Amino acid sequence: MSAQRKEKNPTGTWPVVPYTEVEKTEAMQEKPFLIYDDEEGYMVYVPKERENAIGVSWENGSEGEKIPIDQFYVAKPEKDTAETMNQALEEGKNLLLTPGIYDLEEPIAVNRPDTIVLGMGLATLRAAKGNVCLETGNVQGLILAGLLFDAGEIKSDNLLVIGNEGQKSEDNGKNIYLSDLFFHVGGTDTDTPVSVKCCATINSNHVVGDNFWVWRADHGDNVAWEKNEAENGIIINGDDVTMYALMVEHFEQYQTVWNGDHGKVYMYQSEIPYDVPNQEVWMSHEGQKNGYASFYVDDAVDTFEAWGLGVYLYNRDASVELDTAMEVPDKNGVKVHNICTVMLTGYPGMNHIINESGDSVTFAGERKVICEYENGLIR
């Protein structure tokens, strides 16, 4: 009698794991915060930039810089305009925006390297005349944190622009850090519909984003396909841009457009618009594909990598199909790790996960996963 071969069964949660773990954060600088010292008074504490970081900076003591409050212009919504804040910036001040809504008729313009713009209590910048709310030149070392951007009644091309279009910033060894930035298109207590073409465009190189929520409202006041119109959530044109926790929801075309090289995304969450009225108005690639992928990486991109992505579909208002959740160029160097699609409910469905790969989701609660994708191959 021949010996029987014993097979070893896979253990744990093979082949799909419930969590995506990344060993180290390559580059991170936690956002500044207000502190008080009995001798020095109020100051803004700026944590030190860290490389290959694990955990929070204050776990084993913290290093950083204390900047006296007199180096900041403290803005108040009841008295300040873009003009007063821009004057302070030109005088060499940083900005500290106290809570409230700032109705801006022109952009806040940040053109000095190493400037800090810090919002308290999610200070809200609202476009009043179809303008950008905040824009920067091609300068490095900037820190923008704790701000909410609201679309206005007159359609803006963008609410936030980092760097000049068509001009890549030079590498001077300093990153731009964008932390806790949120964007609303509709859903607030307004009597008039609002709109924007794109909420945020990043043209600069060497940008690190930490915690973005980019939202075309799916509920609230004046919310409908032709009321709170918005094509895209965020467009990345710069090289070496990294995003940690990027959430983009309900935009009428691509949620995220990535045109820059050497980009990285750690955790991406996206819901496709609920209110698509019919398939005819929701076609990409010059009418050749059903729907718009949530995440679009341009064919010219040579290197890109993303970890832990979720794309969710709820066809609430019409029976429509989405061809694929993510479009990427099939090249060595363009990699996606752990992406899932979910059909929440409504009318089906989503046919693929990445390009023409991955199984469809067509009924409520159905979930499909690709663990590793590169150059058209699933591993």
The helix, strand and coil proportions of the chain, stated in percent and rounded to the nearest 5, come to 5, 45, 50
For residues 117-136, one letter each, b for 16 or more C-beta atoms within 10 angstroms of the residue's C-beta and e for the rest, the string is bbbbeebbbbbbeebbbbbb
3-class secondary structure, 200: strand
Q: How far is CA 175 from the centre of its chain?
A: 17
Of the candidates 81, 178, 101, which has an alpha carbon nearest to the alpha carbon of residue 136? 178
Catalytic residue among 30, 249, 271, 327: 271
Instruction: Please report the DSSP string for 220-237 in residue order.
Output: STT-STTTS-EEEEEEE-
Q: Which long-range contacts (CB under 8 A, 24 or more apart) does 165-168 make?
A: 165/201, 165/203, 165/237, 166/203, 167/138, 167/203, 168/138, 168/203, 168/204, 168/205, 168/238, 168/239
Report whether 238 contacts 207 (CB < 8 A). yes
Contact partners, residue 252, CB within 8 Å, separation at least 6: 216, 225, 229, 230, 231, 273, 276, 282, 292
Say what the alpha-carbon torsion angle 195, 164, 261, 299 is, to the nearest 10 degrees. 50
- The answer to whether 26 is a known catalytic residue is no
Report whether 329 contacts 354 (CB < 8 A). no
Please give the DSSP secondary-structure letter assigned to residue 78: T
Q: How far is CA 172 from the centre of its chain?
A: 24
Alpha helices by DSSP H, the chain: 82-90
The residues that are catalytic are 271
